[in-house]
Amino acid sequence: MFQSPVMFAGKVHWLGWENLDFVLTLDLGKDVSAREISWSTLSDQRSWILHPEKVACAVSADGGAYREIGASPAAGDHRGEEPIRVFPEEQSSVCGLTGGFSCCTLKNRVNDRWRVSMNESDAEEDLAFVRRIIEESRKILIDNGLNYILWGILIALGLIFVYFKDVRQWPLRSDLFWLGWGIFGTVLTIWIGRKTRAGLRASSFSGRMLKTLWAAAAISMVLIGFFGFLTEAIRVWAFPAVFSIILGLAYFLCALLYDRAWIRLLAVAWWLGGVAMFFWKSPETLLLFGAMMAAFQVVPGIALYLRYGKERTAETDD
């Protein structure tokens, strides 16, 4: 239709050619780094406008000797074409010498081969990009805090119950009570786990380590509680102190996984509470342990849960 380039008026401007190959030469004035080279073509068969048969990209250091660095053939018979195509469909296929090198400066012929240089600032930019992405993915939620809340409440209520049971001498064995209470908590944990798993779209090593850590801590406490009580190797008032020390250890490692300093402070609080209970040697240690559960387990659990909700909203908004 057109013997020479024509600029169409409208929202988007297009150039049209007929019977001519279009060659666009860009004189950049100096060596530059280019990450991507792309262009769009239009197809509107009713107006006899078709995509090009081939799009190629060539570079030159002196404006004389050009070397093709890539080409995107537009295969097909033009039927059912998208109205607008972007070439190349995969950026790196054109921009790179061997199919994937998109951040490059192409310059200077050396021994009949193109020497490719990578700009220092490009490398820094790429490294910063990688660091940002890794940092973001590292922060991907590893826990929603619900188990902290659940077990904190269950244990605190259990401790209050056992304290009053012992003080008022209700005819119920503590070990059987804790066994039943523990099974109830485990069932609830599994149920919550199944419910929340459906919403997770990524899993992290940190998440798995966290689960393993808490499973190990729970097993340790159950073994100490069961066999310590059965063999009477540990005095009843000492159990909360021992459990506090184990929880301190668990929270200290958690701080590493969550990368949160305030969780490390929780570990210190558990350790200090444990030491205090060793010296106290009284049935009231059960109540102190219950209060610590509320303060150092339920409250942090709520904080983690709120953070989880906030980050999920941020993910959706992205």
Partner 1 sequence: MIDFNYQNIDHLIHSRVRLAVVAVLVGLEEAEFTFLREKVKATDGNLSANLKRLEEVGYLASRKEMRGRKTRTLYRLTEKGMAAFEAYVRGLEKLIGK
- The binding site for partner 1 (CB under 8 A) comprises 31, 35, 89-92, 96-105, 115-120, 123-124, 126-127, 129-130, 133-134, 136-138, 140, 198, 201-205, 207-208, 315, 318
Cβ proximity to partner 1, 53 vs 124, nearer residue: 124
Closer of 21 and 317 to partner 1 (Cβ) = 317
Q: Which amino acid is at 56?
A: A
For residue 33, the minimal CB distance to partner 1 (Å) is 9
Closest CA to 57 of 66, 70, 74, 47: 70
Instruction: Name the strand (E) or helix (H) holding 146.
Output: helix 146-167
Q: How far is the CB of 232 from partner 1 (least distance, A)?
A: 44
Instruction: Tell me how far, at minimum, the Cβ of 209 lies from partner 1, in Å.
Output: 11
Q: How far is the CB of 206 from partner 1 (least distance, A)?
A: 8
Cα–Cα distance for residue pair 152/247, rounded to 1 Å: 12
- Output the smallest distance, CB 25 to partner 1, in A: 24
Angle between the 285-293 and 146-167 helix axes, to the nearest 10 degrees? Answer: 160
Q: Which is nearer to partner 1, 78 or 115 (CB)?
A: 115
Comparing CB distances to partner 1, the nearer of 52 and 207 is 207
6 φ, ψ to 5°? Answer: -130, 135
Taking the complex as a whole, how short is the minimal distance between the CB of residue 27 and partner 1, in angstroms? 20
Which residue, 91 or 220, has its beta carbon nearer to partner 1?
A: 91
Phi, psi of 55 (to 5 degrees): -120, 125
Q: Which is nearer to partner 1, 63 or 199 (CB)?
A: 199
Nearer to partner 1, 122 or 284 (CB): 122
Considering the complex, what minimum distance in angstroms separates the CB of residue 256 from partner 1? 15
Under 8 Å between Cβ of 6 and 47: no
Q: Kindly write down the DSSP assignment for every residue of 258-291, as one continuous string.
A: HT-HHHHHHHHHHHHHHHHHHHH-STTHHHHHHH
Contact 82, 124 (CB under 8 A): no
Among 46, 49, 45, 65, which Cα is nearest to 6's? 49
Output phi, psi for 78, to 5 deg.
70, 5
What is the smallest separation between the CB atom of 314 and partner 1, expressed in angstroms?
11
Which has the closest alpha carbon to 240: 229, 252, 231?
229
Nearest 10 degrees: CA dihedral of 164, 170, 173, 177?
Answer: -50
Q: Which is nearer to partner 1, 175 or 315 (CB)?
A: 315
